[in-house]
Structure 1
């Protein structure tokens, strides 16, 4: 009797197991049918529309919204998951292309063919993390799969920065320049860490959405993400409080020539029939006429230097190339500045277009005049923009000592190249002076990016930008002063900048280690994609490509 009962129990257990297996199979098939139906429905188009609209607002421009950068990937990731892989990813690429086109139009760069070509490559790079999520993360669904998107995104940003020769444009993290607790992460990972946090948040939100936000299913992944975000923001807040700048400051003035002086020089240089504004024509014209044409701006800057020095500024910074001078007249201009520097005991970082008799006929120069009346450095811009037909400088950042800490300079676009700016940190610079010249549509972008350079490397920065927004930033990214060229007849930036030895940062020591780790993680993602694809094809020989 006992044996009979045991056999009956065993049979019942087998029946139950078979029933459960059958139920799981039915649920799996139903889920698969549901996913196929979802991919076939046209209703997913609203996801693409919402994601694209948010993307246009998220692209770092004068009118970007920081919150949109956290949101747009959620919708585009969801869209890519619900559509057939090829079609969905292609349309995500279209969305990213529209975002970059909006940026090019808003900044006026759409008329520069070389820039358009570079940003077309950037669109392809930005599509790669969506491809990785669709083809690798979608096949797992585990909490770790949320890391695929941010890891590949950071890898793409880093490789584009290093290989394209166009600076660190296209980096998602720059959109968060005003979120100082998060920005402090750049002192450890560079701006790439901020990109990672934003992208990971979007990936986690998408992952939770795919599970209907059911707490039992997302609890572990959500807790890990929330804990990491709390740690990053908490550490950033602590750094802002406990590593705050010293109250010992130096008064710095950034000056630009007034509108009247600019108009006078422009009228003289655009003389009908001669077009003196072209460097080739300018160096061949009558030197007296050229000198008279360039004089209003130079005279205005010299007068403004004396005015701000008398008002108490200890360092004065000129903007990039607003002033122009012939090679024969350079020393006379520097002698005028040297007289003010000796009399007022100030440092003056002059900047000007230096016109020379040999092609390409112009140099973009910054020259620091010390309180002794001597020229401490003459620096040529190392990274001319695609619109500047001039020979690049050697890229050796000059540094000199002062009672206010070690001073250094680069010019405008140079600050978009992290490896060049790392030189400044390696030389223990406390304050970097950046002459700059922007334009309408681009006036705020460089000023906002300067926040990250200061936090990454631990130095203060004064960026005097004519035709743009001039800013003074401390080593934690706080704005100490701001002057908008387009809202004043005479743009003058005056700021009390903290004086201290450079604040050492982990990023200045380890460099792009975090980005390199993400590059290594991307190789792992690629390997997982290959292995999983082979397994799917082996298990389902009839499946086309093993699509998830």
Structure 2
């Protein structure tokens, strides 16, 4: 029995289990229990071995589990990904190092707050200066709506704090050998906090009830446009290529196919690209036909997925006029997402493509033209957006469009809470490896800012959620023939505490960790002074 206990308490077993569960909690697999257990095991390892071993093996653990979890998820070539992981792993290790150097293990119950505070600070600092929240462990909890609701109070930082505090609490209790007399007070306090959070979340979700008269039917439209890429490649090279719909952004076949895109963008009207132009126009006709079908089925608001209307800039005026006439005839609000090719010789300073969403009203007018504000690194250029989220006032609530990656930026999306957005429309384009992780990230923006979220997406799962993050409907791109989403969505948003107090939790965490760091430095300074004095005495 003692041998078995020693085996279970082996720090290197804890490191392995930490890596295993952190990988399961990554964007590729999103097992919600992954970060809860992964952080706990990893923290145990970091506390139980010598500091140099903790740093070296901890870094390697982060790097390996990160590589497995992020491969094919991040749209960057492997060499760049390997370099980026060095930075990501080093930053991910910082909360553990602060916990170790601050001697949190010996500080009792209050010491359990150091690791979660440092963890929240690390995540928060990553979002400053246009940072997104892809790596936040809060994104993994979409399977636990009761936990997600704390985002309406503290943002995603509340979710991350709870997970990291759990890891710290488990390690504190283990250090006390799970003896009730030692952990009673802290255990009751922590248990009460988690009980209140869960009760708040359960009540918040279960008490929701919508009257059908206070909802609007919204449709999301997308299609499989791999035929366009395949045709462009055939026109350029005279060879056939087959691209699987679930191909990753870094797959060999897609990388090969993309070789033909630049020649097409530079001169799309070349005679050799006549088949490609026919494919573009055929897809555009299909989009308009699908939109008419959705309108005939009662949709009042229709959203195209990101850049699914792939056109050449000389076509844009005609496409808009066609869409105006359709919106007026069918009496719909149309959020038409276009990828507009800008022909001409390649120049890194010149935009090759405009990624935009055009809002059309039932009067047949253009209400807004929105350019994507946050381009994906290594995959997109800056589109020249003014970084302002528009608000379109309609009989069906106040609507705001953003595009895909935009919704990964909590600081950017705070605008919606300030301007009173009721429904956020997020035309998107994903790939299999990040499905459905990326979709549910946007639902957290809805919980934070009290709005419904509609996210039609190509090559992944389209979803619609209410202001509480409750799933209203979804469509799997790979199993759905029509690839359309139709849902009844509440037309009113709600006020949230987070809208009022903002990032109070991470600000408090920053102050707390700053105090801990100053305390650590003062202790080091005080130790050095007596040593210097002793050397002087010996010298005399």
TM-score interval, smaller chain? 0.7 to 0.9
Task: Using structure 2 for the length normalisation, give the TM-score.
Answer: 0.86
1:466 paired with 2:430, answer no
| Equivalent residue number for residue 370 of structure 2 | 379
- Find the counterpart in structure 2 of residue 224 from structure 1: 189
Q: Given that residues 101 and 110 in structure 1 are in contact (C-alpha distance below 8 angstroms), is that contact kept between their aligned partners in structure 2?
A: no
Aligned to 2:15: 48
The farther-off stretch of 173-182 and 201-210 is 173-182
Shift of 1:243: 5.3
**Distance of 1:454 and 1:522 partners within structure 2:** 29
Check 1:134–1:433 CA distance in 2 against 1; reply closer, same or farther (3 A cut): same
Q: Measure, in 2, the Cα distance between the counterparts of 1:230 and 1:402.
A: 40
Answer yes or no: is the 8 Å Cα contact 1:406–1:429 preserved in 2.
yes
Which residue is equivalent to 2:315? 329
More off after superposition, 405-414 vs 107-116 = 107-116
Q: Which runs of 4+ in 1 moved over 6 A?
A: 536-541
Q: Could you give the per-residue CA deviations for residues 286-325 of structure 1, whole angstroms, max 9, x where no partner exists?
A: 2783642311211110000000100111111101122211
Native 8 Å contact 1:279 1:355 kept in 2: no
Does the aligned pair in 2 maintain the 1:279–1:362 contact within 8 Å? no
- Cα-Cα RMSD: 2.5
List gaps (5 residues or longer) in structure 2. 1-5, 239-257, 345-349, 533-540
Q: Is it true that 1:212 corresponds to 2:198 in the alignment?
A: no
Spell out the pairing of 1:123-522 with structure 2 (5 A cutoff). Answer: 123-138=89-104, 140-163=106-129, 165-242=130-207, 244-245=209-210, 247=212, 248-257=214-223, 259=224, 262-263=226-227, 266-268=230-232, 270-273=234-237, 277-279=260-262, 281-286=264-269, 289=274, 291-357=277-343, 359-392=350-383, 393-500=385-492, 502-522=493-513
Q: What are the superposed Cα offsets for residues 246-294 of structure 1, whole Å, 9 maximum, x if unpaired?
A: 542111111112x4x6425632454133889525533423278364231
Tell me how far apart the structure 2 counterparts of residues 240 and 281 of structure 1 sit (CA, whole Å).
50
| Equivalence for 2:3 | none
Report which of the two structures shows the higher radius of gyration computed on alpha carbons: 1
Q: Which secondary structure state, in structure 2, belongs to the residue aligned with residue 401 of structure 1?
A: strand
Tell me: CA distance 1:101–1:327, structure 2 relative to 1, closer, same or farther (3 Å): same
Give the corresponding residue for 1:120: 86
State the TM-score, normalized to the length of structure 1: 0.85
Contact kept in structure 1, 2:30 and 2:437, CA below 8 Å: no
Aligned residues: 498
Deviation at 1:493, TM superposition (A): 0.8
Q: 1:538 to 1:147 in 2, by over 3 A?
A: farther
Residue 532 of structure 1 and its aligned partner are, at CA, apart by: 4.0
The offset of 1:407, in angstroms, is 0.7
CA distance in 2, matches of 1:132, 1:529: 10
Q: What SS does the corresponding residue of 1:195 show, helix, strand or coil?
A: helix
The alignment partner of 2:305 has SS state of: coil
User: Closer, same or farther in 2 for the Cα pair 1:277/1:457, shift >3 Å?
Assistant: farther
Offset of 1:116 from its aligned partner?
Answer: 4.8
Which residue of the partner structure matches residue 3 of structure 1? none
Does the 8 Å CA contact 1:401/1:407 hold for their aligned counterparts? Answer: yes
